[in-house]
Structure 1
């Protein structure tokens, strides 16, 4: 799948996120246009871009349309998607991947949506928060399986728990997933480096990058953290 292949082939596998505000309603774009944010991400070497269309974060379909008009990179639509029609709409708006949240979807519904996404040529980006949810991911080998470090029951307003990713990585691997991602709550390059060196295939980072003065400089710091003596074994990004 185009989204997964782009992420796995990237020397620095960071999905960079566009969202208008954080969970508390604080503006994240400031005076920047969507086009300017996307251009900065491309300069920083983003392999893929996540676009938050969910209303918690001030999003909407127009945001996805705007990002799609600004780049040819594969796009993830990040929202609480629960129907076949929403998947079809996501494809029509320019998405290459769609978020499916295990906690929100009964098993049969999740399986049908994964199948329909694949039929549409979309990558299912399936989000889990515990080992039982990871084990419930259907056709995991054709999905991106992402550990959400934040809690959707609190509307993601609390800090992320990065130890959740560290703990759940073996369970994600047991699903046969080709691509394991740690998502949300990753503020700094040091934490990002640690998660990649622990074995994650990719990271999804939003607020940390949007608050950074220069995404390219943030990524340079990530590279330096991975190359530092004493870092966990891994291939520097």
Structure 2
């Protein structure tokens, strides 16, 4: 198990810290693999210097697979984040058993149980990326012992059918205490978007934009090589 590997990898990153998502399907854009081998894309992410890999296991809307997550964790040395709509502790146990490094916990879904789920994940050796989309949700997140707080620039209630952008990161990230690793999630499709996000956050999770390009390795290298410096690098 890669215990707390994702937050540590972000803190150690010397360049723009990007969590690259291996995303097979989008409710908005449909099939994102287009016949490509997902493990070839994984290798491209590794070569381009991703700090971690994200994967959505939700099957209905994102065509994810828990069995694929287990294989993914075996195939890479990078920390793996399991993205899903986690609402039971059993799913945290399964995530740890799959040897993932981190689990997404959505403040909107878990409400007052959020801290309990963060603690349970920690007991199982998992980083938690607590996801927020509002100041109210952020107030819940900062009361927990999570290692990371993610700002989802899109509204999960709309299943990615909205056009989120990094303005929400610009609003919320400065409010997050420095003891947390701050992650800007989704809505990032260019070096300029990344520059804006990393002016306030420590890392960015990039999903659909990486999967839509013909050469994800080249695009990720461009993102990581752009003239951006995260707050962690400045400190």
TM-score (norm 1): 0.89
Give, in whole Å, the separation in 1 of the partners of 2:224 and 2:101: 27
Give the superposition deviation at 1:85.
0.6
- In structure 1, the residue corresponding to 2:41 is in which secondary structure? helix
2:218 maps to which residue?
217
Describe the superposition over 1:144-174 as per-residue Cα deviations: whole angstroms up to 9, x where unpaired. 100000011111211113211101112223x
Q: Secondary structure at the match of 2:188?
A: coil
CA-CA distance at 1:213 after TM superposition: 2.3
1:72-125 deviation per Cα after TM superposition (whole angstroms, max 9, x unaligned)? 111000000111110000111121100000011121x21111110000010011
Contact persistence 1:148–1:183 (CA under 8 A): yes
- The answer to whether the 8 A contact 1:19-1:53 is kept is no
Task: Name the counterpart of 2:5.
Answer: 2
**Structure 1 stretches lacking a partner, 5+ long:** none
Query: 5 Å matches for 1:22-171?
Result: 22-24=26-28, 26-55=30-59, 56-107=61-112, 109-137=113-141, 140=144, 142-171=146-175
CA distance in 2, matches of 1:133, 1:125: 13
**Aligned partner of residue 135 in structure 1, secondary structure:** helix
> Do residues 185 (structure 1) and 187 (structure 2) align?
yes
For structure 2, list consecutive stretches of 5 or more residues without a partner in the other structure: none
Equivalent residue pairs, number:
229
TM-score normalized by the length of structure 2: 0.90
Structure ranking higher on relative contact order (CA contacts 8 Å, 6+ apart): 2
Q: Cα RMSD (Å) of the superposition?
A: 2.2
> Residue 136 of structure 1 aligns to a residue in which SS?
helix
